Amino acid sequence: MSTDLATRIESEVRRRRTFAIISHPDAGKTTLTEKLLLFSGAIQIAGSVKARKASRHATSDWMEIEKQRGISVASSVMQMEYRECVINLLDTPGHQDFSEDTYRVLTAVDAALMVIDAANGVEPQTRRLLQVCRARNTPIVTFVNKMDREVQDPLALMDEIERELGMTVVPFTWPVGMGKAFHGVMDLRQERMRVFAPGEDRAAGEEEVLQGLDNPAYAERFGMQYDQAQGEIELVREAAPAFDLEQFLAGKQTPMFFGSAVNNFGVQEILDALVELAPAPGERTAMQRVVKPEEPKFSGVVFKIQANMDPAHRDRIAFLRVASGHFERGMKLKVVRSGKELRPNTVVSFLSQRRELLDEAFGGDIIGIPNHGVLQLGDTITEGEALQFTGLPFFAPEMFRSVEVADPLKTKQLRAGLTQLGEEGAIQVFRPIAGSVLLLGAVGQLQFEVVAHRLEHEYGVKARIMPSRFQVARWVTCNPEDGGEKELKRFIDANDHRMAYDAVDAPTVLVEYAPELRAIEANWPKIKFHALREHA
């Protein structure tokens, strides 16, 4: 590799910022996403992201999911340039039944932007996502939205976020008033006030900015809201520690910003924070070794698979996070799991919402490879090296159904459809050792409905989804020092009436009641039972 390319890779990686935007539904994630694109110049007019959510509330639950799935592939990953940086923004599905997908998206990012509705505080869906971020020590930037409404007291909110996150909150801005009396925010670091004006027309840099935190003119202009803010700021400054970049990067401190996305207020501070504070792509762990993003050879991992919306063409897009090196269109790549060669010519990037052909990509970027089942969730792609990235989570399902076809002649289509939906991560499919009926496992009820709907409309199979007696699943393994494969086989043979294999042939034990599982665990001390499977 030329030193020119090596230098380029290094500088391109350094200017990448890859983050996910997380929130409870309705907190303002879509609105903020759109405003980030607008302020970075990636789109010119607001409305394109929001359009996708039109009439959402009028539809039934699973229709909503259909809609969400219908969002063009391009809008779940967006790339924009801001200042000297390339920002990759990953959307996370809102519905809780699809949180598995969200968890996997979170493995592909280096930081997260959390949007909180200032009236509702930390809501359930946010809480679950935060747990995943916490487990991975993902740095989080907090945006408290909807300050133009009557909301919670900011000190109480700060306290709640701190408790829920288990992180120290460091306010970078502080609100002056709220609702109809929202006057703006104090920028605590630059010691100035940004004055709020409602409306969506303002572009970056058009805000009224007043210098100083305690300018005597403020009291007259902003009245009691200013007095109150001043008191709060004093308290906050005494109580909150100074911002520490190391602590933020370790997921121990979160900078907090107040604003109103719909009014374009506070958006620019978020972009600045992402560029200035969020980390560039870091190392990623494979089973064999640690991979650095500036390494010359390309490597990447599939963290999401999305079926194309056109049912006539069953192609799917595999979303790959580039872990290292330089990707070029048409280069020869290898799927490590299968050893298959891949020469993607039609790789797509997600520049400002348009799905367009991509010529090159660097560590931290997300690329989309259309394929017909060659790529599975968790696959590692390299230029030839045998690497398997770890950390892509699969959760043991919490609900089970068995599935049969109404028309026995369609058995083959059912299997094909389920295999594909399983590979996509829409559902988990298990093949029990005993019997021929397939088992479906999900974390949310809605997943079954969507699968039945998709089987019918995309694969022409009317499936009967029936109750199953199973309630708990655990993947089973056995360490070499405990007897390894031999002991595992002994376990499988002894339990064949409740054993099944999942989409990647990992053995799974299925039981009806949790106490039954405890009994099995006690009887088989050398076998390990896992509620989480980490790689393909």
Task: Give the residue numbers of the binding site.
Answer: 23-30, 91-95, 145-148
CA angle 315, 355, 4 (to 5 degrees): 110
Using the contact rule CB under 6 A, the part of the chain among 2-10, 20-28, 193-201, 275-283 near ligand G4P is 20-28
Pick from 65, 213, 261, 286 the residue near ligand G4P by CB under 6 A. 261
Helix or strand holding residue 450 (H, E): helix 445-459
| Residues flagged as binding site for GTP | 23-30, 91-95, 145-148
Contact by Cβ (8 Å): 462, 408: no
The smaller minimum CB distance to ligand G4P, of residues 40 and 402, is found at 40
Window 410-449: residues binding ligand G4P (CB under 6 A): none
Site string for ligand G4P, 308-347 (x = CB under 6 A): ----------------------------------------
Please report whether residue 68 would count as binding ligand G4P according to CB under 6 A.
Answer: no
Site string for ligand G4P, 44-63 (x = CB under 6 A): ------x--x----------
Please report whether residue 148 would count as binding ligand G4P according to CB under 6 A.
Answer: yes
The smaller minimum CB distance to ligand G4P, of residues 50 and 83, is found at 50
Q: How far is the CB of 34 from ligand G4P (least distance, A)?
A: 8
> CA 141, CA 153: separation in Å to the nearest integer?
20
Helix/strand/coil (H/E/C) assignment for every residue in 189-256:
CCCEEEECCCCCCCCCCCCEEEECCCCHHHHHHHHHHHHHHHHHHHHHHHHCCCCCHHHHHCCCEEEE
Q: How far is the CB of 185 from ligand G4P (least distance, A)?
A: 13
The smaller minimum CB distance to ligand G4P, of residues 101 and 148, is found at 148
> CA 403, CA 462: separation in Å to the nearest integer?
10
Q: Which of 319, 376, 369, 327 is nearest to 344 (CA)?
A: 369
Contact by Cβ (8 Å): 453, 417: no
- Read off φ and ψ for residue 469, nearest 5 degrees: -80, -15
> CA 354, CA 345: separation in Å to the nearest integer?
18
Amino acid, res. 101: D
Please report whether residue 260 would count as binding ligand G4P according to CB under 6 A.
Answer: yes
Pick from 145, 324, 376, 468 the residue near ligand G4P by CB under 6 A. 145
Please report whether residue 184 would count as binding ligand G4P according to CB under 6 A.
Answer: no
Q: How far is the CB of 105 from ligand G4P (least distance, A)?
A: 15
> CA 88, CA 366: separation in Å to the nearest integer?
7
Q: How far is the CB of 283 from ligand G4P (least distance, A)?
A: 32
Please report whether residue 30 would count as binding ligand G4P according to CB under 6 A.
Answer: yes
Q: Going by DSSP bridges, is the β-strand pair 192-195/208-211 parallel, antiparallel, or unpaired?
A: antiparallel
Please report whether residue 149 would count as binding ligand G4P according to CB under 6 A.
Answer: yes
Window 69-108: residues binding ligand G4P (CB under 6 A): 94
Using the contact rule CB under 6 A, the part of the chain among 37-45, 80-88, 259-267, 466-474 near ligand G4P is 259-267
The smaller minimum CB distance to ligand G4P, of residues 30 and 152, is found at 30
> CA 146, CA 258: separation in Å to the nearest integer?
8
Which residues are within 8 A (CB) of 216 and not within 5 positions of it... i.e. 6 or more apart?
A: none
Q: How far is the CB of 20 from ligand G4P (least distance, A)?
A: 13
> CA 173, CA 259: separation in Å to the nearest integer?
9
Q: How far is the CB of 140 from ligand G4P (least distance, A)?
A: 16
Using the contact rule CB under 6 A, the part of the chain among 143-151, 211-219, 396-404, 455-463 near ligand G4P is 143-151
Which residues are within 8 A (CB) of 58 and not within 5 positions of it... i.e. 6 or more apart?
A: none
Contact by Cβ (8 Å): 69, 26: no
Residues that bind ligand G4P (CB under 6 A): 23, 25-31, 50, 53, 94, 145-146, 148-149, 260-263
